[in-house]
Structure 1
């Protein structure tokens, strides 16, 4: 699985001009299931992100996790993270999981974060979404699992 994580002051997702999810301080997690990904990979990625120490401690160093700070997660499916730009000018997405597998793994990933005790909001799989955020730092991290 592949994820782009952004530490945010707040973030929201809208579909057809209707806000369907929003969080305060925490993480916006754009996630993509790749071909060959498994539930185990989704679980590993969720555990890693929940414990990733990218929030400031009392001394201003990135030393606290989302779990430590009690932050929320906004999880948004984004198959375009599978983009292959190695040939030509039009990206290819053949490495993304099928829509059925992608949705199942996306839902499982979000459920794993919830099981770790995090407040989790989600986007709508396959929808044309508008994502708004205030990046904090900015801190943006790319992860493959």
Structure 2
């Protein structure tokens, strides 16, 4: 089994496209409203594009109208890492894949969405792959 935390930047560059590398490994952000999963309503499981770890389910996805896929909860708390982010003159909470430590997006609290939690996991589409649920 691969220990994704030991993979070098050189190997990540070989595994990922330049755009994926920028977001997943350099904590970049894709432009709003362009990601393939922003408006997707397909049922299934969203996994980390870098390592394949399952992260979110479509039942936790909601339309936040923010330009990126939004979820009110991860699949399980141990699937992600939440880390304080003080970049760009803001204080935010960065969300990373716990399996490979790739950047996924940020989580915000207290925005007033009608969801079971008071959280919005704002995740870059390019950080995810969707495995549709079989019907």
Query: Is TM (by shorter chain) over 0.5?
Result: no
| Shorter-chain TM band | under 0.3
Please identify which structure carries the higher strand content: 1
- Answer 1 or 2: higher relative contact order, Cα 8 Å, separation at least 6: 1
Larger Rg belongs to: 1
When normalised by structure 2's length, the TM-score is 0.28
When normalised by structure 1's length, the TM-score is 0.27
